[in-house]
Amino acid sequence: MRIDHAEGLAGHSDADVAVHALMDALLGAAGLGDIGELFPDTDPAFEGVSSVLLLERVIAWLVRTGWTVENADVTIVCERPRVSGYRLEMRERIAAALGVASDAVSVKATSTEGMGFEGRGEGIAAHAVCLLRR
């Protein structure tokens, strides 16, 4: 999802760090590698692509291999932009892509109180965990 801010994020795709972290969590939980293997930044086909589209591909692969998403939890770490006002919309979009109810998805935001690259405003980090069932 796009959040307007004076500074943007650099990335080969759309640089959605929250969805990227979630895709890696899903793939890791299923033992299916990571997004760098599936969607390499050396492949021009993925340049500027929507991370939600990539997430939908990951979900399709999980389903084909017998996995079902039970829930997901994403934490975004940054000082700015403030993402708390976007959390509910992010939650709804992620839930739709995962094919689960929105109450099975949590999106949180936190800061590092000025510490680290996130605190200095040099970037954004995201962490995600999920529960899969087979």
Q: What is the pLDDT of residue 13?
A: 53
Q: What is the pLDDT of residue 115?
A: 65
Please give the tally of structural domains in the chain.
1
For residues 83 and 3, the answer to whether their CB atoms sit within 8 Å is yes
What are the residue ranges in the chain where pLDDT is below 70?
Answer: 1-15, 80-82, 112-122
The domain that holds 33 is classified in CATH as: 3.30.1330.50
The answer to whether position 1 is within a domain reads: no
- Structure tokens of 126? 């995201």
Q: What is the pLDDT of residue 46?
A: 74
For residues 13 and 46, the answer to whether their CB atoms sit within 8 Å is yes
The answer to whether position 110 is within a domain reads: yes
Q: What is the pLDDT of residue 86?
A: 74
- Structure tokens of 122? 């040099």
Token look-up 């999980």 returns 62
Q: What is the pLDDT of residue 12?
A: 47
The answer to whether position 54 is within a domain reads: yes
Residues contacting 127, CB < 8 A, separation 6+: 21, 74, 75, 77
Domain that holds residue 26: 17-133
The answer to whether position 3 is within a domain reads: no
